Amino acid sequence: MPAPVPRPRAVPAVESGPAMDSGPAATTTDRAPMRAPVTGEDPVTAPDPATGRPSAAVAAAPGVPAPAASGGGLSLLVIEDDPAGSLGIPELLDAAGKPIRIRTARNLTEAERLLTDDVHCILLDLALALPGAGRPRGPAPAPTTGGPTTGTATGPGTPTGTGTGAGTGDTATNGGTPPKPGAPDELATLKHVLRLAPRHAVLALTTSGDAERGAEAVRVGAQDYLFRDELDARLLSRAIRYAVERKRADAAQRKLTESRLRAQENARLERGLLPKPLLDGSRLSFAASYRPGRSRALLGGDFYDAVRTPDGTVHAMIGDVCGHGPDEAALGVELRIAWRALTLAGLCGDELLSTLQQVLEHERADEEIFATLCTVDIAPDGRRAGLSLAGHPSPLVVRPGRLAELLPYESGGPALGLLPRARWPRRQVDLGGTWSLMLYTDGLIEGRIGVGNQRLGQDGMVELVRRQLAAGMRGEELLERTVTEVRDLNGGDLTDDVAVVLLGREPGH
């Protein structure tokens, strides 16, 4: 049984206010050690059942004090005001055998001054009262004499035989069972400390006759609780190391959960921003393929849309914002929505593209950002189309008895956002009775082929589509096979966004 240790002498604090440094340890005898996750193993280095690796390998969570690096050591802040001096803190060693630095605060005001970033764990006496309040109700602190007392360990991960590790750490902060109306909150001091030090591990200190309050402290947010009359160097050292690692694991898990929820929310948002063509009443076929270049993204800087206006004209467009990050994806969505609104308002050709350029100039984050665009408006009879190009590759047309070819592109205008007073002429194109029109972004033609820097290009893309047509590919199957072959020629995923739209008119329509 450890003998009471004389009060440590005061030394100047790092911050304002006095600090207490631990004095020499008294000779101790081994007590029943804290129950580690695996019998006989330190809770810090015990293997993780999921990975087989030590639990200390958990990555440091942002904002949580990391375990001491080489040359340093763990730091403990003791918050207690027992005038009898019955709380004797022996000399403590961390897992590397280095002394654990100890500071002592007599009240919460002093604790706030001593709570610096190099403090890893807080040992809080639950008998400490909030300023202006009486001492919490409960059994009086027991002297540090007598044999060990066993508490209740009620859940998985409990590190000791003297506390309960079944709490939820960070996830239960300021939770627990609410006090009865009119009754004092016996854990008000703990809740205050948790609000004061949300990034630090907290150990609650209570008496062996008040295990229920210790368990409630864990449910509120403490990492574990200890009995005052069972403190010895071995037990307290292990409890500190366990609490620090558990706090870091809780913080890392919380960050991971937040990241997953954010990813799910982003996916729902991106899915909602993908176009839904409005072609009700049209006899034209429509198919599209879209693959963003960003990893694990649903939306990129490429965009497309198609709508049918009340007069029966089918309008389609495809565009590409330079770059393929989230900002470019957001700008692409804005341009697509603006295009749809302007088209339904009756604009087309130069008037529509000039207005879109104004939208781009107002919404872009940098003056160097530009966008290419291709628009077609197909007459109600489906035999003619108006074509406008703004720095964009020309569509490919497929007609019976003729090889697939590119539509004329000599009269196109510059990309949106490059020239303030640019013009975009609209060219009339005869399509015939049966045709397919493929609109695409440059991601389809800029993939590599073979070894070196050679690109597929428009000519290579035309030849590739001709082969697919000769093999009997049509509609969505033609698009998917084309994009897949371009990817295979590139030797893997394409780094740029790829969007392809296929409009068609079948015989008799």
pLDDT of residue 159: 41
β 435-440/396-398 pair status: antiparallel
φ and ψ of 505, to 5 deg:
-130, 120
342-400: pLDDT as tens digits? 999 999 999 999 999 999 999 999 999 999 999 999 999 999 999 999 999 999 999 99
**What does the mean pLDDT of the chain come to?**
78
Q: How confident is the model at residue 133 (pLDDT cuts 50, 70, 90)?
A: low
262-277: pLDDT as tens digits? 888 777 777 777 889 9
- In total, the chain counts a number of residues equal to 509
β 405-406/314-321 pair status: unpaired
More confident residue, 279 or 3: 279
More confident residue, 417 or 87: 417
For residue 378, what are the β-bridge partners?
A: 314, 385
For residue 504, what are the β-bridge partners?
A: 285, 436
Helical axes 457-470 vs 475-490, angle rounded to 10°: 130
pLDDT of residue 371: 98
Has residue 328 got a pLDDT over 70?
A: yes
pLDDT of residue 298: 74
Alpha carbons 88 and 188: distance in angstroms, whole number: 25
DSSP string spanning 452-473?
SS-B-HHHHHHHHHHHHHHTT-
Has residue 482 got a pLDDT over 70?
A: yes
- Provide the residue type at 53 as one letter: R
Alpha carbons 318 and 281: distance in angstroms, whole number: 22
pLDDT of residue 509: 58
Lowest mean pLDDT among 56-65, 179-188, 296-305: 56-65
> How many beta carbons lie within 10 A of that of residue 425, not counting itself?
12
Lowest mean pLDDT among 8-17, 166-175, 214-223, 227-236: 8-17
Which own/partner pairs from 457-466 qualify as long-range (CB within 8 Å, at least 24 positions apart)? 458/393, 458/394, 458/406, 461/396, 461/486, 462/396, 462/404, 462/405, 462/406, 465/396, 465/398, 465/404, 465/438, 466/403, 466/404
Q: How confident is the model at residue 52 (pLDDT cuts 50, 70, 90)?
A: very low
> How many beta carbons lie within 10 A of that of residue 176, not counting itself?
20
Q: How confident is the model at residue 179 (pLDDT cuts 50, 70, 90)?
A: low
pTM of the model: 0.57
Q: How confident is the model at residue 444 (pLDDT cuts 50, 70, 90)?
A: very high
pLDDT of residue 263: 83
Which own/partner pairs from 175-179 qualify as long-range (CB within 8 Å, at least 24 positions apart)? 175/219, 175/220, 175/221, 176/216, 176/217, 176/219, 176/220, 176/221, 177/216, 177/219
